[in-house]
Amino acid sequence: MMTDTAVTPGATQARPRRRPHPARFGPLVVLVVLIALPYWSISIPGVFDAALNKPGTLQLLALCLVFGALATGYDLLFGRTGLLSFGHALYFAGGVYGTDVLVTKAGLPLWQAVLLAVVGTAGAAALLGAVALRTNGIAFAMVTLAFAQVGAITIGRDPGGVTGGEEGLPMDTTQVPSALVGVTNTVNLYWLAVAVAVVTVLVVHAIADAPAGRVLAAVRDDERRVGVLGLDPYRYKLFAFTVAGGLAGLAGAMYALLIGGATPHVAASDQTLTLLVMVVLGGPGTRWGPLIGGMLFTYLDYRLVSFGRSDAVDSLPGVLSGPLSQPLFVLGTVFILAVYFFPGGLAGLRTRLGPIARWIPDRR
């Protein structure tokens, strides 16, 4: 016999438990795909020259992940704190050359060299940031650029034969684990690049979601109001500057492993401008935009070289084949179009496509 349950007035009914949105599992799915990618022998014509599990493809994807991580760390300064630094390449170069020099010249094991390089890079960022952050706006950007130029000149002059000058410094692989040496072990380097990207994303997101991240956002929006509330904006900006420098050093150490040494172009001033383009392309201050922008820009930067030399471009009239054979021209065009049509970066596509998505029938 069934009885009806009476509901007394004012009694609160148990609310149905909300199911987690499928989009919340998107990053986890992407991570699983990235980890499992070396086991797939799928070929994607026009996108990669070889199958996904081939060393050349894994090398390119690892580089995309490294620069995606580097752009994510830089966004902690630019997008989340509002600090326009023109010298972030200095800390990336510190990770590259610090790891290489400690392994090749000092003979340290790889893990010790990476640890010292990252800590040393973060320490240098804290020291130089303490000086640069005494200024604001354009003056801050120029001071950071001056520090980066000093670093680039020092590397080029090869003091004591340490940096190798304009020729760079190949890494001595005797102190590197054998699992990370050779073309056949490219898959291990790829997985290590995935780990570097994951660590960088977790650190930046942890800071952004913490109370310190909200203070950094407030500093970006109105620094004076933060001071009125009794907080010291200088300390928070220095914290962001130091963490971003350390993350750049970590990406630099991974880059040195991928290319097997250090080259002076990593310290060039245009490297920071490239980072700025990556962040703007993906969407500054967004959760995944800088990572996507860094990976996409790096992919296009490497792939457009072979595209410019392809038969398809050569068969075009000279007025088209000439510009299309120049990767920088194509990259610049893509960036201009992206900024014009998507001012908020690629991360803003979801918002812009929202009105279109409402017209799609809901199938349940």
Residue whose structure tokens are 């991570």: 31
The CA distance from 239 to 292, in Å, is 25
| pLDDT given at position 304 | 79
% pLDDT > 90, the chain: 59
pLDDT above 90: residue 62: yes
What confidence tens digit (pLDDT) does each residue in 167-194 have?
999 999 888 999 999 888 999 999 999 9
Residue type, 273: L
pLDDT above 60: residue 4: no
Let me know how many helices (H) and strands (E) the chain has, helices first.
16, 2
Q: Mean pLDDT throughout 282-299?
A: 92
The CA distance from 74 to 83, in Å, is 10
| pLDDT given at position 19 | 62
Q: Mean pLDDT throughout 218-243?
A: 92
Close Cβ partners of 205 (under 8 Å, ≥ 6 residues apart): 287
Calculate ∠ Cα 85-61-329, nearest 5°: 60
The CA distance from 141 to 144, in Å, is 5
Every domain of the chain and the residues it spans:
51-267
> Taking the mean position of all CA atoms in its chain, how far away is CA 217?
19
The reported pTM is 0.87
Long-range contacts of 292-295 (CB under 8 A, 24+ apart): 292/68, 292/346, 292/347, 293/68, 293/71, 293/345, 293/346, 294/64, 294/67, 294/68, 294/69, 294/70, 294/71, 294/72, 295/64, 295/65, 295/67, 295/68
Q: What is the DSSP string of 102-140?
A: HHHTS---HHHHHHHHHHHHHHHHHHHHHHHTTS-HHHH
What confidence tens digit (pLDDT) does each residue in 77-135 have?
999 999 999 999 999 999 999 999 999 999 999 999 999 999 999 999 999 999 999 99
Contact yes or no for 63/258 (Cβ under 8 A): yes
What confidence tens digit (pLDDT) does each residue in 6-55 have?
445 554 555 556 665 556 778 889 899 999 999 998 888 878 888 888 99
What confidence tens digit (pLDDT) does each residue in 301-337 have?
888 777 666 666 666 676 666 776 777 777 778 778 8
Cα-based torsion angle of the residue sequence 100, 105, 109, 113 in order, rounded to the nearest 10 degrees: -50
Of residues 82 and 354, more confidence is placed in 82
283, containing H or E segment: none
| pLDDT given at position 308 | 64
Is the C-alpha dihedral spanning 65, 70, 76, 80 positive or negative?
Answer: negative
